[in-house]
Structure 1
Amino acid sequence: MSSMMSAMQADPADALVETSFLVMGILTEVAGRHGLSLTQLRVFGITQDREPRLSDLAAFLGLDKSTVTGLVDRAAARGLVERVRHESDARSVRIRLTDAGRELATLVHGEVHQELAGHLGALSPAARKDLTRYLRAVVGPPSL
């Protein structure tokens, strides 16, 4: 059993799975504090620095357009996002954070970073830099 455990501890895939459980737990907890689902939190993350079309947002999230429409409708009802027509194509509607949505996204982002910082505290600055580089190599560039 101990040889199996040490093999699992040395496996980067297992480490990534464990890390994803930790991060997902933190994201879910922080989102819940603000009445958001994990998927709504992802929408906030995506729309912080861009205004995606609903179809692009659905594709990026891996969800049906109707599901994302419901997410956006609920966020819009709370005054957190708005639909805006594209300047050059009136048929194209983009999703944008409102000022209230941006404030909440900034607050949630800070809380997530604070929670994660507690787990990164044991790493030296050089190890944190290495970890960032390795994770970016694994994840790759954003696709949206």
Structure 2
Amino acid sequence: MMDPIVLAAGTALVSAMATDAWQQARAATVGLWRRTRPERADRIGAELDVPRGQVLAAREADDEDTEQTLTGAWRLHPHDLLRETPGLAAELQRLLDEHLTPALPESGQARTRSVVMKAEAHDNSRVYMAGGDQHITGA
């Protein structure tokens, strides 16, 4: 299971590609790699240039599948970064909070927030969890 920060960062990064603030979000993202994995920073920067056109085209065509595929692919980079160095979670969260999420329109910012819930039920008890509205009928 991917870390919620990774999920949010990948979503915000791809969403930011379709904004006017993309160059600032891109620079901050490359800056994270430059500080933490300088040997990969130039490659990450070059790879970030390609999907922006794909995201813009997907949005123009209402092609959510392509955007979701790109989001999944771009979650792998921060996932690998945290797998190699778990202590970088705070750096990734800072990138998300200070650069990626603010680059998004308000409607897109909600997609980058994550909720982690865990529950256990014992002795035939019930557990109801929801990340939004929940309506329970029946007993």
TM-score (norm: length of structure 1): 0.32
TM-score by structure 2 length?
A: 0.33
**Greater fraction of residues in strand:** 1
